Amino acid sequence: MSDSTPQPLAPADLKARLDSGEKLILLDVRETEEVGICALPGITHIPLGELSIRHTELDPDAETVVICHHGIRSAHAANALAGLGFETLWNLSGGVERWARDVDPSMSRY
């Protein structure tokens, strides 16, 4: 990507990238209770409400995929991170709900 505008990333495309060994930061911005129900392996969990103070825990140069339940909160989070200078941002289209539907039907849903 040539600019910091967050781009959508379909769950199947994310799976393919992970399966190929790409190193991506998977930032889950859901609430702790939601992450307790289901989560992608290897996530970094920072609830959306804490992102403004905890964004310094993240590498602004790392390629980051932002995740939530349906893709709305993650879009807001990705835009906020772009405004803070994060360069390569993706928003998981449809969130963990679509991931469960399209990639991992065994994942718990809510």
> Among candidates 27, 17, 44, which has minimal Cα distance to 91?
27
* Phi, psi at 18, each rounded to 5°: -65, -45
The one-letter amino acid code at 84 reads: L
Check residue 27 and report its DSSP letter.
E
CA 56, 20, 93, 90 torsion: positive or negative?
positive
Q: Decide if 68 is catalytic.
A: yes
Q: Within 10 Å of residue 104's Cβ, how many Cβ atoms?
A: 15
* Annotated active-site residue in 66, 67, 68, 77: 68
Catalytic residues: 68
